[in-house]
């Protein structure tokens, strides 16, 4: 195997693939990176068996040559040193050559590294996904759906299914739902031209977080295909494969109240910074609890106290208060997460009493929903 590659292209590919490689894997060969040279281009692969990432660098693209003098072959390289080596090489091109004894030589300018490679035969075969049953969406939209939901997954392994985001595609609507049983985040978008439907595809939150980091805003669309136990996100240069979580995702629609007793409309940023301030003294306590009181028909009061440290109180003028007077306590962290996920200037919050879940939505947009269970403090 041999090829000469543009260093910048190699750096970008290695950086993407490294996101799937863990030094703590139980399968030693997975601490390595697979490098496959074909005449049409170079494929880098990394995997921790939950997530697998392939990055493809075409030999030529839009008339620009990325890779030259390709002699085909495959090798596994220790991933621990490779990213630093590539990043610190002196010249703009890198030559990688493998001899019959799996010795890998990396040359750039006058610098020469000789590393021990491993036989690619020992690397596990990644499942090939049929991509006929797939749908496309914009990368920007996918990233926004991930960002608006993934923070609400459970971090506790007691109910593993809740550590994932539930994807559902039916009646031309794609929805992402995440809940840790104390709060819930949901986002829906219309999808056209999808030739598949599914009720329950639970993707580990960790996979979506990595996918979010790796998806390149400069590319336009991502193709998504699903099987029983895998999901594949495919862009022009990237294959991102994740296992799915086993088990039944709970039915969440009945959690969402259909009526409300008190309704607020408020500036998102103002509420966010007030709750952020109120939470400062509550740091120590587990839930960072803050209180919200309605005051007449245009003011709410946010407060918190921590007996050892002190108290904080602040009033906000709101756009609208409708319905019953309300005194409620909730986790400031959940509220801050929810408000940050809603990228609108104004939100409505609908309450059905101090002990029932309440719902936060952008003003005049039902496609995003954030639900929070209050905390009993009286």
Closest contact distance (angstroms) between CB of 90 and a copy of itself is 7
Element (H, E) at 200: strand 198-204
Closer to a copy of itself by Cβ: residue 196 or 280: 280
Of 190 and 310, the one with the shorter C-beta distance to a copy of itself is 310
Q: Is 220 in a helix, a strand, or coil?
A: coil
Alpha-carbon distances, residue 205 vs 53, 202, 222, 352 (angstroms): 16, 9, 18, 30
Q: Quote the least distance from Cβ 332 to a copy of itself, whole Å.
A: 12
Terminal Cα-to-Cα distance of the chain (whole angstroms): 71
Residue 33 CB, shortest distance to a copy of itself, in Å, is 14
Residue 214, burial from CB neighbour count under 10 angstroms (0-12, 13-18, 19+): buried
Closest CB 100 distance from a copy of itself, rounded Å: 17
Q: Smallest gap, in angstroms, from Cβ of residue 348 to a copy of itself?
A: 22
Nearest C-alpha neighbor of 194 from the set 155, 167, 158, 218: 167
CB of 283 to a copy of itself, least distance (A): 8
Give whichever of 88 and 286 is closer to a copy of itself, judged by the CB atom.
Answer: 88
Using the minimum distance from each CB to a copy of itself, give the nearer residue, 20 or 79: 79
Tokens representing 209?
A: 């977080």
- By beta-carbon proximity to a copy of itself, the closer residue of 116 and 377 is 116
143: three-class secondary structure by DSSP: helix
Contacts 24+ apart (CB under 8 A), 291-295: 291/327, 291/328, 291/329, 291/377, 292/326, 292/327, 292/328, 292/329, 292/330, 293/326, 293/327, 294/262, 294/264, 294/321, 294/325, 294/326, 294/327
Nearer to a copy of itself, 146 or 302 (CB): 302
Minimum distance, C-beta of residue 214 to a copy of itself, in the bound complex (Å): 24
> Cβ closer to a copy of itself: 59 or 115?
115
Tell me which residues touch a copy of itself (CB under 8 A).
78, 81, 84-85, 88-90, 104, 109-116, 273-274, 276-277, 280-281, 283, 308-316
Of 314, 307, 261, 277, which is closest to residue 292 (Cα–Cα)?
A: 314
CB nearer to a copy of itself: pick between 73 and 83: 83
DSSP string, 363-376: TT--SEEEEE----
Q: Using the minimum distance from each CB to a copy of itself, give the nearer residue, 277 or 356.
A: 277
Helix (H, G, I), strand (E, B) or coil at 20: coil
Length of the chain: 378
Residue 95 CB, nearest approach to a copy of itself (Å): 14
Written as one string, the DSSP assignment of 279-340 is TGGGTTSTT-EEEEEEETTTEEEEEEEETTTEEEEEEEE-SEEEES--EEEEEHHHHHHHHH
Question: Least separation, in Å, of the C-beta of 111 and a copy of itself?
Answer: 4
């Amino acid at each position: 195997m041999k090829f000469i590659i543009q260093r910048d292209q190699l750096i970008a590919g290695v950086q993407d693939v490294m996101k799937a490689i863990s030094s703590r894997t139980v399968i030693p060969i997975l601490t390595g990176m697979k490098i496959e040279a074909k005449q049409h281009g170079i494929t880098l692969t990394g995997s921790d068996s939950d997530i697998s990432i392939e990055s493809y660098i075409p030999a030529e693209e839009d008339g620009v040559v990325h890779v030259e003098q390709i002699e085909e072959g495959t090798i596994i390289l220790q991933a621990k040193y490779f990213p630093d080596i590539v990043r610190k090489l002196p010249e703009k091109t890198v030559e990688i050559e493998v001899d019959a004894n799996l010795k890998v030589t990396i040359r750039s300018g006058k610098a020469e590294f000789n590393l021990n490679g491993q036989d690619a035969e020992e690397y596990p075969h990644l499942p090939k996904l049929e991509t006929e049953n797939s749908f496309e969406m914009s990368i920007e939209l996918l990233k926004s759906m991930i960002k608006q939901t993934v923070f609400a997954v459970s971090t506790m392994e007691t109910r593993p299914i809740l550590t994932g985001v539930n994807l559902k595609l039916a009646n031309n609507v794609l929805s992402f739902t995440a809940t840790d049983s104390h709060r819930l985040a949901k986002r829906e978008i219309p999808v056209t031209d999808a030739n598949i439907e599914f009720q329950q595809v639970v993707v580990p939150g960790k996979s979506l977080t990595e996918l979010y980091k790796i998806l390149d805003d400069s590319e336009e669309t991502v193709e998504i295909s699903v099987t029983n136990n895998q999901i594949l996100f495919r862009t022009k240069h990237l294959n991102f494969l994740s296992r799915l979580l086993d088990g039944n995702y709970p039915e969440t629609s009945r959690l969402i109240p259909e009526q409300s007793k008190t309704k607020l409309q408020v500036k998102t940023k103002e509420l966010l910074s007030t709750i952020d301030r109120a939470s400062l003294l509550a740091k120590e306590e587990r839930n960072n609890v803050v209180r919200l009181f309605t005051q007449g028909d245009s003011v709410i009061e946010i407060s918190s106290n921590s007996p050892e440290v002190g108290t904080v109180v602040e009033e906000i003028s709101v756009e609208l208060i409708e319905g019953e007077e309300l005194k409620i306590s909730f986790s400031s962290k959940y509220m801050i997460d929810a408000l940050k996920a809603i990228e609108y200037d104004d939100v409505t919050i609908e309450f059905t009493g101090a002990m029932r879940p309440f719902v936060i939505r952008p003003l005049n947009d039902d496609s995003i929903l954030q639900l929070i269970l209050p905390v009993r403090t009286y």
